Amino acid sequence: MANKKVVYAELLLVVVTIIWGLGFPITKIAVNMGYGANTIMVGRFFTASIILSGVYYKKLKKINKTILKYGIITGVFLFLGFYFQTLGNVYTTPSKNGFITQLNIVFVPFLYYLFFRKKVDIYNIISVIIAVIGMLILSFNSEGFSGINIGDVFTFFCAIMIAFHVVAASFYQKKYDFDPALFVIINIYTSMVISVVMMLLFETLPVITIVNLWPLLVLGVFNTAFGFLVQSYALKISLPTRVSLIVAMEAVFAAIASWLILGEILTIQIAIGGFLIISGILITELKPLKKNNLQNI
């Protein structure tokens, strides 16, 4: 029964990873409709907040000052990660946005070392070098690095912020034994509130109709609410390494979806750069394939 649960959780996570990949071209469609980055954020987090509150409404009464404090701190990192990812998608291509976002996985071990002195091994070092080289190849153009796309830079900041969110969320949940669902809800609420403030301060709403509202609803219902629910379930049932390896395929699905939906041309440059980033992730997650490691994959 336990094995069936693991298979079910991981299959669901594969579905979510495909949905997350689709989210990159869908976000681009929302941008092309005239939505600003903060408005897109409001759409997805407001929708997700309603859904998650409905699913976990019985847990809301358990919110206390401690979980609220640390949930808000990690929620700020979550907001910054999604904000820079969405802003990056405004200026760069969805496929590059997807691949560069995945750098967060190779950054996490270095943040653990920075804050908790957890040892970084040679595989972590090799992986980040390979992945960063992949990003540089993705970002290189005819003008060299002097003409680097600002969207790639924003997405790079996104990867850093997501890595901070992963480390902070992991640390606080383990230290205080928070309910994962409740902790995620506070993260989502925090991101929604900041997004609303930013939208009101810096953006003008486009003309919203039922027809052009669908990208925000899709991102809110499937990419955020459903995605977080499945990821939390998978992390509880499966092993973190297996979850990370499945989620890493998000960038590949983003590239395929961008080609199918937007007709984006997937160049050799994108293929090589993306391959190196994914290779870096595989190295940092799998490490050397020794017998004593295989049982933990």
Report CA-CA distances (Å) from 281 to 115, 162, 295: 21, 15, 19
pLDDT at residue 98 in the model: 93
Task: Quote the pLDDT of residue 54.
Answer: 92
pTM of the entire predicted model: 0.88
Checking if the pLDDT of 21 tops 60, the result is yes
Among the ranges given (125-139, 157-171, 282-296), the one the predictor scored with the smallest mean pLDDT: 282-296
Assign 240 a pLDDT band (cuts: 50, 70, 90): low
Q: What does the mean pLDDT of the chain come to?
A: 87
The rounded percent of the chain whose pLDDT value lies above 90 is 54
List pLDDT tens digits, range 154-209: 999 999 999 999 888 888 888 888 888 899 899 999 999 999 999 999 887 767 77
Residue (of 160, 199, 171) closest to 71 by Cα position:
171
Q: Place 144 in a pLDDT band, splitting at 50, 70 and 90.
A: low
Residue with the bigger pLDDT between 265 and 237: it is: 265
pLDDT value for 9: 81
Mean pLDDT, to the nearest integer, of 28-34?
Answer: 92
pLDDT at position 288 is 56
Query: pLDDT grade, residue 100 (50/70/90)?
Result: very high
**Dihedral (CA of 25, 29, 30, 35) sign:** positive
Residue 119's pLDDT is what?
A: 84
Between these two residues, 222 and 119, which has the higher pLDDT value? 222
Above 60 in pLDDT, residue 145?
Answer: no
Residue 296's pLDDT band, with cuts at 50, 70 and 90, is very low
pLDDT of 120 higher than 80 = yes
Determine the pLDDT at residue 153: 93
- Tell me what the mean pLDDT of segment 223-239 comes to: 80
What was the pLDDT predicted at 289? 57
Q: What is the pLDDT of residue 143?
A: 63
Res. 297: pLDDT tops 50: no
User: In this structure, what are the phi and psi dihedrals at residue 230, rounded to the nearest 5 degrees?
Assistant: -70, -40
Query: pLDDT value at position 291?
Result: 44
**pLDDT tens per residue across span 64-89:** 999 999 999 999 999 999 999 999 99
